[in-house]
């Protein structure tokens, strides 16, 4: 296929889908397209007055496309959890489409940035969240179904060659829009801001002579989202969650088409006005040098 056609299809896809995955500081690379496929399984235990009253399960299919314009700048088209392929929800509809995101990421410091450095890596990003149609505003999707502007910052500090820390921050600002708040299905609320902080301890080991690199780590994520009810001051609330997780990735670099395989588990442990979802995600990524 002609390179111009491939690039045009990538950009077209970038304006229609969204896939949020690990908050990696590294960019995809010069004139390289990375395609990600991400099925995931979610389980929510529903409780009432401290007693289990039911379960909600679903399987989602996510997709992502990234293209490296050069070593320090890439465009992203990301969609996660993606489309709800299957769900078991007795009390109502489960949302069908999660929201979309298009954006870019630029390296500032590191082996890809304007400032060369072996110990520190810094990158910034920005993008647009695009609401896609869905049957419900269920918080289980992790979406608000609103237009929003996202601003991101990434930072790595290399402790030793085998181990480094990754820091990620994202602010999503929503203009004046209305949606149904959690537990307030008949009231209209304004949702102004989402804030995410993540610290990720990561290990990386390259098997000598095999073209295989192993990555594993423990991400800790804090999410804060203020809810301001415009019709009922007594219903003001804040959404807050602290979610630990674990992931393992194997990268195969010596093939004609390099690829990654990854598995990830996350579950919130404490929070306010959240849906406690246990989620297992698989991730396959291929790298196409254009």
CA distance 237 to 85: 31
Asked whether 258 and 238 are in contact (CB, 8 A), the reply is no
d(CA 64, CA 103): 12
Domain boundaries, the chain: 3-289
pLDDT along the chain (290 residues), means of 10: 46 35 81 95 74 77 94 93 76 68 95 89 95 59 77 95 94 77 52 90 92 95 77 62 95 94 92 80 94
Cβ neighbour number for residue 20 with a 10 Å cutoff: 21
| Residue among 11, 102, 21, 29 nearest 288 (CA) | 29
Integer angstrom CA distances of residue 204 from 47, 58, 120, 229, 261: 39, 32, 16, 45, 14
Whole-number Å distance between alpha carbons of 118 and 21 = 25
Radius of gyration of the chain measured on its C-alpha atoms: 20
212-267 per-position pLDDT tens digit: 999 999 999 999 987 665 555 554 567 788 999 999 999 999 999 999 999 999 99
CATH match for 3-289 among 3.40.630.10, 2.40.160.40, 3.10.440.10, 3.40.50.11900: 2.40.160.40
∠ CA 69-71-77 to the nearest 5 degrees? Answer: 45
183 contacts 217 by C-beta, under 8 angstroms = no
pLDDT by residue (tens digit) across 156-168?
Answer: 999 998 999 999 9
Residue 10 belongs to what H/E stretch?
Answer: helix 3-14
265: left (phi over 0), alpha (psi -120 to 50) or beta: beta
* pLDDT number for residue 44: 80
Any bridge partners for residue 271, and if so which?
241
| Residue 280, token pair as written in the block | 């297992």
Beta strands in 14-50 (DSSP E): 32-48
Residue 172, Cβ density class (10 Å: 0-12 exposed, 13-18 middle, ≥19 buried): buried
Cβ–Cβ under 8 Å, residues 192 and 174: yes
Which pLDDT does position 145 carry in this prediction? Answer: 74
Residue given tokens 């993008």 in the structure block: 127
User: 232 — phi, psi (to 5°)?
Assistant: -150, 100
CB 36 within 8 A of CB 283: yes
CA distance 81 to 136: 15
Looking at the DSSP assignment, which residues form a beta bridge with residue 222? 197, 242
Which letter, b or e, does each residue of 93-121 get, where b requires 16 or more Cβ atoms within 10 Å of its Cβ? Answer: ebbebbbbbbbbbbbbbbebbeeeeeebb
Beta bridge partners of residue 191, listed in sequence order = none
Angstrom distance (rounded) from CA 48 to CA 253: 49
Cβ–Cβ < 8 Å for 28, 71:
no
């Amino acid at each position: 296929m002609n390179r111009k056609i491939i690039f045009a299809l990538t950009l077209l896809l970038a304006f229609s889908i969204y896939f949020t995955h690990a908050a990696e500081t590294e960019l995809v690379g010069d004139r390289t397209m990375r395609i990600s496929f991400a099925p995931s399984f979610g389980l929510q235990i529903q409780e009432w007055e401290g007693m289990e009253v039911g379960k909600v399960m679903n399987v989602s299919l996510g997709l992502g496309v990234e293209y490296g314009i050069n070593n320090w700048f890439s465009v992203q088209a990301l969609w996660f959890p993606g489309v709800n392929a299957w769900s078991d929800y007795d009390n109502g509809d489960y949302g069908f489409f999660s929201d979309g995101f298009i954006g870019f990421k630029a390296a500032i410091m590191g082996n890809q940035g304007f400032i060369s450095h072996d110990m520190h890596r810094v990158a910034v990003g920005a993008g647009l969240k695009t609401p896609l149609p869905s049957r419900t505003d269920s918080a289980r999707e992790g979406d608000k179904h609103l237009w929003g502007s996202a601003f991101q910052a990434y930072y790595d500090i290399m402790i030793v060659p085998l181990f480094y820390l990754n820091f990620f921050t994202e602010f999503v600002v929503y203009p004046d829009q209305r949606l149904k708040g959690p537990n307030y299905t008949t009231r209209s609320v304004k949702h102004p801001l989402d804030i995410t902080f993540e610290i990720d301890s990561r290990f990386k080991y390259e098997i000598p002579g095999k073209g295989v690199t192993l990555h594993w780590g423990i991400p800790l994520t804090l999410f804060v989202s203020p809810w301001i009810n415009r019709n009922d001051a007594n219903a003001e609330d804040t959404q807050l969650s602290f979610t630990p997780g674990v992931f393992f990735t194997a990268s195969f670099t010596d093939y004609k088409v390099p690829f990654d395989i990854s598995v990830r588990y996350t579950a919130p442990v404490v929070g306010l006005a959240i849906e406690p979802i246990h989620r297992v995600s698989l991730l396959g990524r291929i790298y196409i040098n254009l």
